[in-house]
Amino acid sequence: MKSPHRHVHSIDPPPDRSAIRAMRKQKEGDMELAALRAAFDLQYQASRAQPQVPEALRRERLLRLGQLLDQHGTALEEAIAQDYGVRSARLTQLTDIFTTRALLARALRQLHGWCKPQKVRTPLYLQPGRAWVMPQPLGVVGVMAPWNYPLQLLLAPAIGALAAGNRVLLKPSEHAPRLAQLLAELVPVFFKPEEMALVHGSTAMAVAFASLPFDHLVFTGSTETGRKIALAAAHNLTPTTLELGGKSPCVIELDADIAEAAIRIAHGKLLNAGQTCVAPDYLLLPRGMEQAFETAYRDAALTLYPGLPEHPDYASVISPTQWARLCSMLKQAEQMGARIKEIAAPESPSIWGLSPHGARQMPAVLAYGVTPEMRLMQEEIFGPVLPIVSYDRASDVPQIIRSLPRPLALYWFGRSEQARDALLEQTVSGGVTINETLLHVAHPNLPFGGVGASGWGAYHGRWGFERFSHHRAVYQPGRWFMGQWLRPPFGERFDRLMQSLRKWL
């Protein structure tokens, strides 16, 4: 008797969902990178086809940028608030939209003078002749912006680049996705893709962006990331402007008005919950004034933000990751002997009892007894935490500042012009505000930029126009050009002429 045949049907294993997600993510990433390259290539070809851009067209582009801000300001404010969790529309109006509009207005008023060729004097040995410097667009300028002031730090460099006649490719932060998506919809409405375009996406997109052969690349962010950007740009010999932050000191002298200094320092430190590249990062305070400053700083913080940290004008920490980083720095400092003092409204929960997944509004914090080994004194804080370093002699202050990498900003509070000038002469920083905080950045005619570890290059106002222009040297000899007598073959006439010319040097 034969055994019946049994038909065995193969059963395919269930699909690997993680593999499918990975493939989908890879495909999306490939599409992002292809779109990035296409956007760059379009602008690059356009810049080479039109090396010089008329002043009228530059002005029109700047006006269109102003229309974008004016017509969609409310939507931009809402997008930034959604990215943060808590960030008031008024805060965004002040720090992102008004400051950008002020730079734009200044550029429009001064554009004609910026664009004019600059005549230079011609020395005797090149007479008769005339010479001038002709500003020309570099070509394509890339702008990589952070999340803390996501609109201002994206568009402020773009203003200088457009004024200089460049094409601009924008890369907003991946940590501000709602703003990035809104701008991705708005920019094409106001600009042709070969004029200004925006790309956004993953971290891989940021790496690829920095690796493109731009004619100039602007990056604002951390020093650590700035090093990576500089290395990526160096492969293409791309010149860069890096705005990197660092440990910006704030100095109080013995003769300073403590109450006045405290309110101004609190404003500079707590604006945007301390998430400001030029925020005071540590305070140098005469020993013995700690309690007086703490009382004044508490009063100031609660005057600015009644109910701190729960106040609508007081911003959230951007993400749970940043919250955890700040808490980790504070715990390490406390374990190493620092005294941590929270400043908040009565009955407000401690920082340790707040959830990083909630509103993420962090109390203000003073940290006493900090030492150089602590992360609070090694890393840029980027939060509402202010370490206090007590000093005994005024001569100690510049030494302490010089012991750290050169900062993006320095703040000084006091009454003695001699003491002020001595500190300025003995230290180096990107910018300085005297008896206030932050305001040197708001001045449209001052360069904004870092030095050393806090970055290089500067923009704002004419400084941005100059940064994003090629200064082309032009010389035109006259008909009876003296230089023809300096050609070989050399002889006695050459010797007599050189002897005469040396007297005119």
Q: What is the distance between the alpha carbons of residues 219 and 198, in angstroms, rounded to a whole number?
A: 15
- Catalytic residue numbers read 243, 277
Distance CA 41, CA 47 (A): 10
Look up residue 301 and give its two tokens. 């913080």
Give the integer Cα–Cα distance in Å for 449 and 451: 7
What is the 3-state secondary structure of 112-176?
A: HHHHCCEEECCCHHHCCEEEEEEEEECCEEEEECCCCCCCHHHHHHHHHHHHCCCEEEEECCCCC
Q: What is the DSSP string of 25-50?
A: HHHHHHHHHHHHHHHHHHHHHHHHH-
Q: What residues are paired with 434 via a beta bridge?
A: 412
What is the secondary structure of 337-403 as a DSSP string?
TPEEEEE--TTPPPGGGS-TTTT--PPEEEEES--TTSGGGTS---SSEEEEEEESSTTHHHHHHHT
Angle at 194 between CA 189 and CA 199, to 5 degrees: 70
**Torsion sign, CA atoms 42, 62, 79, 322:** positive
Q: CA 144, CA 221: separation in Å to the nearest integer?
A: 9
Structure tokens at 344: 């908040």
d(CA 304, CA 274): 14
Q: Which residues pair with 250 in a beta bridge?
A: 283, 411
Q: Identify the CA nearest to 394 among candidates 360, 357, 421.
A: 421
Using CA atoms, how far residue 354 sits from 22, 134, 474, in Å, is 35, 58, 64
**Helix/strand/coil for 211:** coil
